[in-house]
Amino acid sequence: MIRGFNTLQGQLFVILKFLIKRHLSKSVSVLKTYVAKTLMFRMIDETAEDEWRADNLLQLARRALEILCDGLQHGGEHECLPHFFAPDAAVYLRSGHSKKRDVMKAIKSTLENLRQPLVQLMGQLVTTKNSKFMQFHPFTLVPVTYDLHSVCTDISLLHLYPVVWTLLRDLATDSKPPMQLISSIPDCALSVRESLRAMAQLKTGQQEAALYTLRAAAQHTVSKGVVKKQLTTLSDVTADVWQQMENSDSILRFCFRYDRRRISSAPVRQRQLSPGHADLRKQVLHEL
């Protein structure tokens, strides 16, 4: 659901996370990050579409905090809010939390002067307007529409998602690591390829080989992003972006959706390397 947030909803989510993790935590120890998600689901469910306006963002943040206050007031001793997906259950306060009255006092104090922490948040944001690069990780954004069980041998950029998914699945089994398939991954995903190679080597007990693989890959420079250019048509922009990505080590991050943890049967070292939104090479280097 979070991936479905529009721009304004995403901004509200950032504000709520900041207020809970950075601002309120200065005076009370109580709230988990999941509280921000629960508040967002409630806000989207209960807020009329015409109220989602940029000039109403402060008021939306205020209403979310009021929902939090109301949940604290009417919930049990250790309860924070009703669970959005299971209304009969509750979202609980953090273990060893502050007294509820102190938490509510801190939230009400924030409501009285909400602009102050938001100004602090604005001061911490970093603009990307002056950067000549744009970060673009397509395989963390695209919906899962691939046939993940059909992997071609002629791998191009567009085929990388099912290939990497298949390799991680196979690395979780007792079968022999598919080194030939790993080697066929193109240079536009060089870091991913060498990370997978190292994972396969670790699986077969070749720790020294895995270390050599990653040391060699560490000399390589990954893409800083897509260079922004003044192009006039969508087709020109699309062609330029894909050309840049195909000609550099740009495919670094993947987001996979599993029905269970796929690497649960692998050795401990390998289980800790399951990629979500992370740079694979950094994770493997950390392990070694």
Residue 281 has pLDDT above 50, yes or no: no
- Pairing type for strands 90-92 and 79-82 reads antiparallel
> How far apart, in Å, are the Cα atoms of 225 and each of 136, 222, 242?
7, 9, 12
Q: What is the band of 275 on the pLDDT scale with cuts at 50, 70, 90? A: very low
- Pairing type for strands 133-134 and 226-227 reads antiparallel
Token couple for 32? 């988990």
Token couple for 17? 């996370």
CA atoms within 13 A on the CB side of 54: 1
Residue 278 has pLDDT above 80, yes or no: no
Q: Which long-range contacts (CB under 8 A, 24 or more apart) does 259-268 make?
A: 262/168, 262/169, 262/172, 263/168, 263/171, 263/172, 264/172, 265/172, 265/173, 265/174, 266/171, 266/172, 266/203, 267/202, 267/203
- Structural domain boundaries in the chain: 2-124, 138-287
From the list 276, 281, 283, 273, the residue with the least C-alpha distance to 139 is 276
Q: 3-class SS at 82?
A: strand
Write out pLDDT tens, residues 190-238. Answer: 888 999 999 999 888 898 999 999 888 888 888 878 888 877 788 888 8
Determine which of 33-47, 81-95, 156-170, 253-267 has the lowest per-residue pLDDT on average. 253-267
Write out pLDDT tens, residues 232-242. Answer: 788 888 888 88
> Would you give the DSSP letter of residue 244?
H
Alpha helix locations (H) across the chain? 7-18, 34-46, 57-74, 100-112, 115-124, 160-171, 179-183, 190-203, 207-218, 234-246, 268-271, 280-287
User: What is the C-alpha to C-alpha distance for residues 93 and 158, in angstroms, rounded to an integer?
Assistant: 44
The number of residues in the chain equals: 288
DSSP symbols for 167-211: HHHHHTSSSPP-HHHHHTS-GGGHHHHHHHHHHHHHHTT-HHHHH
Beta bridge partner(s), residue 79? 92
Looking at residue 260, what is its pLDDT? Answer: 52
